[in-house]
A = this chain, B = another copy of it.
Amino acid sequence: MPSSSGPVAAADVVLPPSDAAALGPASSPDTPVRRRTRRAIVDAAVHMWARDFAAPLSAIAEQAAVSRSTLHRYFPDRPALLDACLRTALEVFGGVNPCDDVPRAAPEPPALDQLLSQLESVVRLGDWVLFLWTDPSRFSGHPLADDLVGGEDDTTLALIRRGQAEGSLDPEAPADWLLAVYYSVLYCAAEQAVRGAMPAHEAGRLAVRALRGGITPS
């Protein structure tokens, strides 16, 4: 998952105009109307695909309150819409290129604390978490998703390795195992929140508690 000072408000995210394939009609620069329509389609896709990755484009169009023709004006095909969702996910999760990170002057807090703090933020992104992690293997190997879901570029993996080195995370377990556990607990928390079983902050708290101490009493 990309590192950040915190997730960007979902409504503020704008797809880079360089992605010509995802542009709407006439491939000219976006107008506000077009930007809103495109974002409505992406949000609808994430909403539907979080729940059923086989959901057809017609259902997504309906969820977005547009016609299938309109959907196809913005996204020529299903893979293009999926790419747009993944690119938007990078923004939503505060995506920055890890190589751009500038080392901080002050020592960072323990990696465990940072990791859990990140989880508490991310769990509020409900549908986006379900979209990415309902089936953890869904986007394995997808070039746009490597930075999000546990590929070698995933900054969360780097954070886990730092935590193991500094002693705040279990040094006896493989890093990618800890990452898998982290994402799966994050998914559980987001799923609880999305289906209304509890508020997102409570789900985050329970997830943090589970990752700190397991399912035993504290």
* Chain A residues in the interface with B (C-beta under 8 A): 51, 54, 112, 134-137, 167-174, 176-178, 180-182, 184-185, 187-188, 191-192, 197-198, 206, 209-218
**A169 touching B216 in the complex, CB below 8 Å, given contacts A176-B197, A188-B180, A198-B174:** yes
- Chain B's nearest CB lies how many Å from the CB of A180? 4
As for how many copies of this chain the complex holds, the number is: 2
Contact A217 B169 (CB under 8 A): yes
Closest-CB distance, A152 to chain B (whole angstroms): 14
Docked CA distance A205–B187 (Å): 22
Residues A216 and B206 in contact, CB atoms below 8 Å apart: no
- Report the Cα distance A136→B176, complex, angstroms: 21
By beta carbon, the residue of chain B nearest A182 is: B215
If A134-B135, A185-B184, A188-B180 touch, does A216 touch B174 (CB 8 Å cutoff)? no
Would A214 and B217 count as touching, CB distance under 8 A? no
